[in-house]
Amino acid sequence: MNPLRQTFDEGLSELSDQLMEMVDRVIEVYDNMFTAIRTMDIDMARDIIENDYTINALETSINELGNLLILKQCPVARDLRTIITTIKIANELERLGDYASNNALYIIKTVGDNETFRSHFLSYVAPLSKMFYTMKTAIEEESMEAAGKVCDLDDDVDEVYQKQIMTFINIVGQKESVTAEEAARAMLVIKQFERAGDHLTNIGEEIIYLAKGERLTLN
Amino acid sequence: MDTAFKIENLKVAYGETVALKNINLELYPKSITALIGPSGCGKSTFLRTLNRMNDLISICSISGEVYYHENNIYDKQCDVIELRKQVGMVFQKPNPFPMSIFDNVAYGPKRQGVKDKETLKQIVEKALKQSALYEEVSDRMDASALSLSGGQQQRLCIARALAMEPEVILMDEPTSALDPIATQKIETLLDDLKKEYTIIIVTHSMHQAARISDYTAFFYMGELIETSDTNTLFSLPKKKQTEDYITGRFG
């Protein structure tokens, strides 16, 4: 292989490694976030917030390397799509990291709140975890099938979200011990879960674009 | 869609060496088609078949059909002089004649029998304006063409081709000997010229092909591997060979 192409391939490989590191980091953050919700572990929640910068730093690094590869290698065809989709996926992952931080902050700020809502948050563990791990497979294998599945799984998250909105409204009406402020805060939390599903779907769409070269809107 | 050229089962050989194998391709009017591929793939040979420049090579043998509009240019009845008047050519290295700027551009029309000085002046002026050179040379039309810079010489050669009022301009790596600024001027010029002319360009620069052409044809080892509109070929090539070539995996 020509040496310049080899240098380019090494750059693409580095980009891919950084993306997978970011994927693993975000998955770990969500696992920790749900554990913190379950156990009301304030320290763990604080760690999530304090370490969010590592996810942001990876996104910056991916952007810089991607820009450099475009600048120096003038990529076309799949090479160009690989770089563009990696940059876009990194952006989605960064947002996912932010949502986890926001929810970790909720855990810290609501230690004394009524626990009624908190138990509902764990309903997102199963559908979101499934989406995260399928997303990882889709990226690792550049699999259109897995990417399509990620998009399909978002329906499960949306379904939980829609049901919980009504449940939360009813709880406020039925339980005197629950304040409207607590309900509003809890609504913000589940909105972040619902948005997390949307961002994962966006990642699925990016993988499909990488594989097919066509933009599909599955969100 | 209208076609300027329709090529059917074209085969070209130099003695025993096959240069082009069974090429089928349509070239569209008032657009730029880029021919890309590694050295020796047959793209320049293909370009030269379009105005029968290969006739000048004694060992070259050609079979198949090359229709320019409705007429097969390899028919015995084809007027090759008239064909080359309609299908002009610009070469890799600027090759101005050792004469004045004016005479370079007027050379073709004069050979075609235009004698009236005012008419010649109009032809030269128009061609130089079309090639975006007029403003740079209007005050020194009698100066030697060899005194011009490389980029200016190449635009002069384009003006010389345009003076014959062709319909098609064939270009064999017209910017490979030029610096980036001169290259940019030629590319801008081509983008303008395609409104009136059909341009077929051989280029080794993939990015030049992507930048300026409407259609791209990829040749490899004498075969036409893939052709499509340029956006598609450079974003979603159908053949692996094409993808490997444009992404620098071989060649």
Q: Does B218 touch chain A (CB under 8 A)?
A: no
Q: How far apart are CA B32 and CA B193, in angstroms?
A: 9
Structural domain contains residue A40: yes
Q: How far apart are CA B165 and CA B191, in angstroms?
A: 18
* Residue B237 Cα, gap to closest chain A Cα (Å): 7
The CATH code of the domain that includes A16 is 1.20.58.220
Structural domain contains residue A52: yes
**Per-residue DSSP letter, B194:** T
Predicted confidence (pLDDT) per residue in B69-99, tens digit: 989 999 999 999 999 999 999 998 999 999 9
CA A202 to chain centre: 10
Interface test with B, best of A76, A78, A208, A212 (most B CBs within 10 A): A76
**Per-residue DSSP letter, B100:** B
The secondary element (H helix, E strand) that includes residue A148 is: helix A144-174
Strands B223-229 and B168-172: unpaired
Structural domain contains residue B251: no
Task: Give, rounded to a whole angstrom, the gap between the first and last alpha carbons of chain B.
Answer: 33
Structural domain contains residue B79: yes
- Residue B173 confidence (pLDDT): 93
Structural domain contains residue B110: yes
Q: State the total domains in chain B.
A: 1
Q: Which two tokens mark A170?
A: 């009813």
Q: Do B237 and A5 touch (CB under 8 A)?
A: no
Q: How far apart are CA B184 and CA B178, in angstroms?
A: 9
The CATH code of the domain that includes B92 is 3.40.50.300
Q: How far apart are CA B161 and CA B168, in angstroms?
A: 10
Structural domain contains residue B153: yes
Q: Does B209 touch chain A (CB under 8 A)?
A: no
- Residue A114 confidence (pLDDT): 66
Contacts of B234 in chain A (CB under 8 A): 76-77
User: pTM score, two decimals?
Assistant: 0.85
Among the partner-chain residues B206, B237, B249, the one whose CB lies closest to the CB of A1 is: B249
Domain limits for position A191: 3-212
Task: Give, rounded to a whole angstrom, the gap between the first and last alpha carbons of chain A.
Answer: 40
Contact B226, B239 (CB under 8 A): yes
Among the partner-chain residues A1, A5, A77, the one whose CB lies closest to the CB of B243 is: A77
Q: For residue B246, give the chain A residue with the closest CA.
A: A76
Residue B116 sits at φ, ψ, to 5 deg, of -60, 125
* Amino acid present at A152: D
Domain limits for position B113: 5-246
Contact A130, A149 (CB under 8 A): no
Sign of torsion over alpha carbons B153, B45, B31, B110: positive
Structural domain contains residue B29: yes
A219 pLDDT more than 70? no
Residue B97 sits at φ, ψ, to 5 deg, of -75, 150
Q: For residue B251, give the chain A residue with the closest CA.
A: A2
Structural domain contains residue A217: no
Structural domain contains residue B91: yes
Q: Does B235 touch chain A (CB under 8 A)?
A: yes
Query: In chain B, where does DSSP find H-type helix?
Result: 43-49, 80-86, 101-111, 117-130, 134-137, 150-162, 180-193, 206-212, 230-235, 240-246
Contacts of A1 in chain B (CB under 8 A): 249
Q: How far apart are CA B111 and CA A195, in angstroms?
A: 74
Structural domain contains residue A31: yes
Q: Do A78 and B210 touch (CB under 8 A)?
A: no
- Residue B231 confidence (pLDDT): 94
* Amino acid present at B70: E
Structural domain contains residue A218: no
Structural domain contains residue A219: no
Strands B60-68 and B71-72: antiparallel
Predicted confidence (pLDDT) per residue in A141-176, tens digit: 999 999 999 999 999 999 999 999 988 888 877 877
Q: State the total domains in chain A.
A: 1
Please state, in angstroms and as integers, the Cα–Cα distance from residue B91 to each residue in A105, B168, B174, following that order: 69, 14, 6
Among the partner-chain residues B207, B236, B250, the one whose CB lies closest to the CB of A77 is: B236
Write down the ipTM of this complex.
Answer: 0.76
Q: Does B237 touch chain A (CB under 8 A)?
A: yes
Strands B32-36 and B215-220: parallel
Mean pLDDT of A91-105: 97
A177 pLDDT more than 80? no
**Per-residue DSSP letter, A113:** S
Q: Between residues A53 and A184, which one has the greater pLDDT?
A: A53
